[in-house]
Amino acid sequence: MKLNQITAELSILSQSGGNPEISDIIYDSRKVTEGTAFVALKGYATDGHRYAESAVKQGAAALVISDDLDFDVPPEVAVVKVKDTRFALALMSAAFFGNPCRELKTVAVTGTKGKTTTTAMLAEIFERSGIKTGTIGTLGIVFNGETRKTDNTTPESYEIQKAMRDMINAGCGAMVLEASSIGLKHSRLAGCVFDAGVFTNFSNDHIGGVEHKDMDEYLYCKSLLFRQVKHAAANIDDPAWREITKDFPGKVTTFGFSPEADLVGKNDRLLSVDGFIGVHLETEGIRELELNVGVPGKFNAYNALAAVAAATFFDLPDEAITEGLRSAHVKGRVEPVKVPGNYSLLIDYAHNALSMENVLTTLRQYNPNRLITMFGAGGNRPKVRRYEMGETSGRLSDLSVITEDNSRFEDVMDIIEDIKTGLNKTDGKYVVIPNRKDAIRYCMENAQDGDIIVLAGKGHEDYQEIKGVKYHMDERELVAEIIKEIY
């Protein structure tokens, strides 16, 4: 593709060096190859302009810059100067990949909490409607049964545009994305007009350091999403909803438990039946439904309402919504695993005291016969984390099963002794089973009717790190193996 085709939507301050054919767009100078366009981004710790000369030596056919360069650029290399290279990268990437956002049904979800769960719910609803769907967010870029790891919840714009094109090539008809405030701040979503934008909630987070200077900036960055969506849905029960959506030119569809909402939730209650743990609620207004949501915690009723509101923009059928919400889950986040017997087995990523407290407190609300927590702790990490996890599990669990996690370069038994230090501050019962598969087997073989068992710490991870080596280990596979061996 010619450079001028890629930069057609940019506000260019100056340009020199002709109109070369561009083989790819690169923003990491180490990846520059012959014929590529190098975009010099300013990061937290470094400035891409410092590597522009190196990019030329590696064969870059064009440079996109915002600052003057301190070397003489060869006349055959094109130089495009713009005000903001991050914004330029987004528009260039959209053009380079053929504006894939226009070929998909797209939803972007923003908010302090609930983005990952709402994204998973919506994706499952689309799938149940017969529309193959990809997602981009905390768990990476996910489509076609595969996951690509990403560094950020909302990746760089080039990665997003490439992912959407790959999704289309794989047969996807929809894409649901988590729009983080940082991603919006740095123009990673520029170049896209989403079919729908969803606001879940707003609370104190991401303030300080390299994130946001204060709550006003945090709120403003989230509001940026609603300048680039065709339809908007917002949680009416969160006071920030009006400010977040103030730049949306049309009517905002509201959801919540307030009777003033366009989609009203009612009669919500916790649900635990035959190993199914979730939330029941009903809706009225723009959609009248009875829903059993397969994600634990009463707060997930709001995420379900958000998903229903967004699904309504696409006129997706009631059956797809009800089935999708019943089966939706986030990999590694209180993820249910089907087991024989009248008990519940959940996999969760909780790997510190705060996340463990949140998960176990939520599950306590279901009044299980016993709440059993199996966990370990990572090696080469602060010991205080182990003490705190032990104390938290001892306080909230009926039984703690202590085992291995990513021990890294430490001895598993030393880590377990540190966990026991915290446990011994409580009256909580515990057993020690160092091998993780054996620990899972113990939990399953000794499960009683009505128990909730949480396998904590690994979540979506599919490996175990020991002495610098990552070995494949997926707890879902271990559970399946144990079921075959026991039954």
* E strand or H helix at 117: helix 115-128
**Average pLDDT value for residue range 158-184:** 97
Q: How does pLDDT run across 57-90, given as a tens digit for each residue? A: 999 999 999 999 999 999 999 999 999 999 999 9
**Average pLDDT value for residue range 31-44:** 94
**Average pLDDT value for residue range 411-425:** 98
- Judged against a pLDDT cut of 90, whether residue 249 lies above it is answered with yes
Nearest residue to 175 (alpha-carbon basis) of 147, 135, 137:
135
Distance (Å, rounded) from C-alpha 130 to C-alpha 404? Answer: 41
- Judged against a pLDDT cut of 80, whether residue 210 lies above it is answered with no
State both tokens at 322. 């009800």
Distance (Å, rounded) from C-alpha 460 to C-alpha 200? Answer: 23
Residue type, 111: G
pLDDT at 426: 98
**What is the average pLDDT score of the chain?**
96
**Average pLDDT value for residue range 8-36:** 97
**Average pLDDT value for residue range 427-452:** 97
**Average pLDDT value for residue range 184-191:** 96
- Judged against a pLDDT cut of 60, whether residue 212 lies above it is answered with yes
Distance (Å, rounded) from C-alpha 251 to C-alpha 236? Answer: 13
- Judged against a pLDDT cut of 90, whether residue 259 lies above it is answered with yes
**Pairing relation of β-strands 276-285 and 289-293?**
antiparallel
Q: What Cα–Cα distance (Å) separates residue 461 from each residue in 8, 96, 134, 298?
A: 42, 33, 20, 26
pLDDT at 205: 61
Distance (Å, rounded) from C-alpha 138 to C-alpha 154? Answer: 8
State both tokens at 458. 């690994």
% residues pLDDT > 90 (the chain)? 94
As beta bridge partners, residue 80 has 15, 64
pLDDT at 419: 98
Answer for the pair 268, 284: CB distance below 8 angstroms, yes or no: no
pLDDT at 75: 95
Q: How does pLDDT run across 372-410, given as a tens digit for each residue? A: 999 999 999 999 999 999 999 999 999 999 999 999 999
pLDDT at 242: 97
As beta bridge partners, residue 160 has none
Q: How does pLDDT run across 88-135, given as a tens digit for each residue? A: 999 999 999 999 999 999 999 999 999 999 999 999 999 999 999 999
44 — pLDDT class (breaks 50, 70, 90): confident
pLDDT at 206: 54
* E strand or H helix at 66: none
Distance (Å, rounded) from C-alpha 407 to C-alpha 413? Answer: 10
State both tokens at 67. 């600052």
Nearest residue to 2 (alpha-carbon basis) of 17, 16, 24, 19:
19
**Pairing relation of β-strands 371-375 and 463-466?**
unpaired
Distance (Å, rounded) from C-alpha 74 to C-alpha 277? Answer: 65
Nearest residue to 222 (alpha-carbon basis) of 195, 240, 249:
240
208 — pLDDT class (breaks 50, 70, 90): low
Helices 157-169 and 85-96: angle between axes, nearest 10 degrees? 10
- Judged against a pLDDT cut of 70, whether residue 343 lies above it is answered with yes
275 — pLDDT class (breaks 50, 70, 90): confident
% residues pLDDT > 70 (the chain)? 98
Domains of the chain: 3-96 (3.40.1390.10), 100-327 (3.40.1190.10), 335-486 (3.90.190.20)
Answer for the pair 36, 19: CB distance below 8 angstroms, yes or no: no
Please tell me what DSSP assigns to residue 40.
Answer: -
